[in-house]
């Protein structure tokens, strides 16, 4: 049986590489993108190389868009085996708690946490139709409360209250959803891909998108003995 995956925010960066690597592993991938044209162009580029990739429009901040996407998957595929919640943003007006724009923090939270929660809820009935559903939430080491409070951490000075809080909230979703789905075939994990050169980081990372996609893809393809409720990065497990 060919597995079916949906990757959100996937027309560029890590998301596009996750789509590529899943498709190269034999997965049929739905490349989710907010912009129809960009999503279709990205999907066509991969499909032209013989990969099973098709575009699907989904804006994680738009409930109607999410519902339409879920209905489309239900109608065409009937189930979903893998959901990779990759869509996320940063905001130029974010910063330390004393300086960040509350509006920026709200925008970030709306996409990175509320959007992921909304997509997951909409796709969960389809994941329940899979013999081994997998949910991968793209997190960040900046979402770790332990890391944020450790002066010896290289991330200690990265004070972005909106972004960091959104990833901490995302991790809470992972913890609670994994507990709620305990005893089912669905595994849920938070995966930090590392510091990757993408538009989101201003291309200041030390990893390529291809390298950054490897760990999320690994957790998307976990077998029958899959772990659940973990927070991992390339160097190993991350403290919550």
Taking the C-alpha atoms of residue 149 and residue 2, their distance in angstroms, rounded to an integer, is 44
- Nearest-Å Rg of the Cα atoms of the chain is 17
Q: Is 117 exposed, middle or buried (0-12, 13-18, 19+ CB in 10 A)?
A: middle
- The rounded distance, in Å, linking the Cα atoms of 162 and 57 is 26
Contact by Cβ (8 Å): 32, 87 = yes
Residue of 155, 156, 163, 195 marked catalytic = 163
Please give the Cα distance from 83 to 92 (Å, whole number).
28
Decide if 195 is catalytic: no
Number of neighbouring beta carbons within 10 Å of residue 125: 12
For the four alpha carbons of 194, 195, 199 and 200, in that order, the dihedral sign comes to positive
Which active-site residues does the annotation give?
163
């Amino acid at each position: 049986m060919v597995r079916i995956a949906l990757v959100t925010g996937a027309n560029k960066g890590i998301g596009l590489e996750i789509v590529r690597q899943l498709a190269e592993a034999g997965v049929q991938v739905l490349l989710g993108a907010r912009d129809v044209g960009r999503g279709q162009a990205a999907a066509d580029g991969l499909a032209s190389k013989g990969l099973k990739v098709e575009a699907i429009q989904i804006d994680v901040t738009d409930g109607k868009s999410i519902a339409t996407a879920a209905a489309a998957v239900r109608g065409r595929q009937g189930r979903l085996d893998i959901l990779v919640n990759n869509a996320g943003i940063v905001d130029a007006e974010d910063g330390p708690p004393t300086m960040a724009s509350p509006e920026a923090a709200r925008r970030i939270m709306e996409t990175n946490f509320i959007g992921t929660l909304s997509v997951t809820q909409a796709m969960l009935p389809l994941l329940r139709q899979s013999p081994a559903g997998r949910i991968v939430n793209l997190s960040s080491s900046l979402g770790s409360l332990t890391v944020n409070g450790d002066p010896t951490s290289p991330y200690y000075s990265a004070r972005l209250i909106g972004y960091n809080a959104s990833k901490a909230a995302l991790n809470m979703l992972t913890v609670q959803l994994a507990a709620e789905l305990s005893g089912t075939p669905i595994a849920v994990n938070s995966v930090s891909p590392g510091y990757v050169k993408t538009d989101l980081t201003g291309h200041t990372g030390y990893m390529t998108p291809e390298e950054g996609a490897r760990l999320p893809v690994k957790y998307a393809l976990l077998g029958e003995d899959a772990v659940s409720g973990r927070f991992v990065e390339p160097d190993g497990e991350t403290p919550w």
